[in-house]
Amino acid sequence: MVKDIIFSLTEKKYRWILLLTLALVYFFVYFHRVSSAVISKDLLQEFGVSALSLGLLSSMYFYSYSLFQIPVGIFSDTLGPRKTIAFLTIFSALGSFLFGIALNFNMALGARLIIGLGVSGVWIPALKLFSTWYSKSEYATMVGVLLAVGNVGALSASYPLAMISYEFGWRFAFYIIGIISIFLAIIAWAFIRDSPAHYLNKNKETKTSNSVPKRQYISKEHIKLIFRNKDVWILSIWLFVAYGALLAYQGLWAYPYFRDVFNLSRGASGFILMFVSIGMLIGSPFVGYFSDKIMKSRKKVIIIWLASFILPWILMAFFTEQLNVSLLYLLSFWMGFFGCGNVVVFAIIKEQFPLEITGTVQSIVNVFPFVGAAFFQTFLGYILDIVGGFEGVYPVAAYSMAFKFVFAFVILVFIMSFFVKETLTTD
């Protein structure tokens, strides 16, 4: 009955159903991405591992996520987004169950790897769907909306997860998420349609801007077109650093930093981390709209956003323990708000390539933010261990060195931003 009602809607109204379905699935992509931060102490104690090992555990999500991005892009261009999302969401459910029942550290590593593989099949198929269902002037805005929803998931992985873990244990949360993920896979299969031409199996003509070519395998010419484009490489490095740095902070090391340097409780640290997600929740749709409708520019926006993103790293790197605890709320919000320039980055990439390979090229680029997250999470743990700590507690000097390492990378990629091509031109 519900399905009949949905598919009796006009295409314009159905787009809201499509967005809602994608939002529900994408919610847990972000939850899993940052959940390790709040339960980091539980994991350290339960598995008896070092900071480097904890960084590796958290980063397993990003390794499998990034390695599977190119296959996901090819699947999106050939099998279609609907099948890709539905099938891979089942893997995320399996990974959640396995993580919840992990008997040892190696089993937890494997579970995080499976979770990363499963949730890797949402973002790129969603971008493909936006390319076919929405116009060029709507694209960045819709990407921003979806990213905002993801940050509601990240919000749930901060203070709410901290409270659930305190009351019921961290394993309970992952059992529930596994059950929910199974239902989401079913919903995705039932309600997602790959293009207006596939809506209700209608064989009608669509507008040229949103038309969908026949599915095909990627040719050598397409590969050459992708890898000879300098912006693909510049923006890939941009995502490696900017998004990797953000996830190193939000997804793992901000919580121990708050605990060790400012002696904050789990609940207080989780509450501060919520402001990263609140910043991204507001900033993601705003930066898309700002680029589409106000600045009417892509290049200028990514420069402005990354310039602003540098500020919190300056403060944490050079004033590591001098910061007022109240300022941590503002810095976290600022980090989130100006850490979502990737919305515009993906719009730049999409606007430089033909529709039939947008899934593949965006998937190639999307490997880098998650390799970056894995790199920064693991390497910051390595830096902390080099300086040294005691029973999982690290000194101010360790965090200062780690944050200076990130700061240097952010400055480098900011300079590279000036060499990106402007793609949003007025018709």
Q: Is residue 382 part of a domain?
A: yes
Mean pLDDT comparison of 60-69, 384-393, 407-416, highest-scoring range: 407-416
Write down the pLDDT at residue 218.
61
Q: Are 21 and 122 in contact (CB under 8 A)?
A: no
Supply the pTM of this predicted model.
0.70
Section 49-53 average pLDDT: 75
Write the Ramachandran bin of 227: left for phi over 0, alpha for psi from -120 to 50, otherwise beta. alpha
Check the CA dihedral 286-292-297-302 and report its sign: positive
Residue 392's domain comprises 9-193+225-419
108 domain residue, yes or no: yes
In a domain, 208, yes or no: no
Q: At 13, is the pLDDT very low, low, confident or very high (cuts 50, 70, 90)?
A: confident
**401 lies in some domain:** yes
198 in a structural domain: no
Domain-located, residue 425? no
Are the C-beta atoms of 193 and 18 separated by less than 8 Å?
Answer: yes
pLDDT score of 180 more than 80: yes
Tell me if 214 is assigned to some domain.
no
Is 200 within the bounds of a domain? no
Sign of CA dihedral 92, 96, 97, 102: positive
Query: Which CATH number does the domain housing residue 57 bear?
Result: 1.20.1250.20
Cβ–Cβ < 8 Å for 289, 416:
no
- Contact in structure between 332 and 279 (CB atoms under 8 Å): yes
CA 264-308-372 angle, 5° bins: 70
pLDDT of residue 148: 83
Q: How many domains does the chain have?
A: 1
Structure-block tokens of residue 325: 């605890």
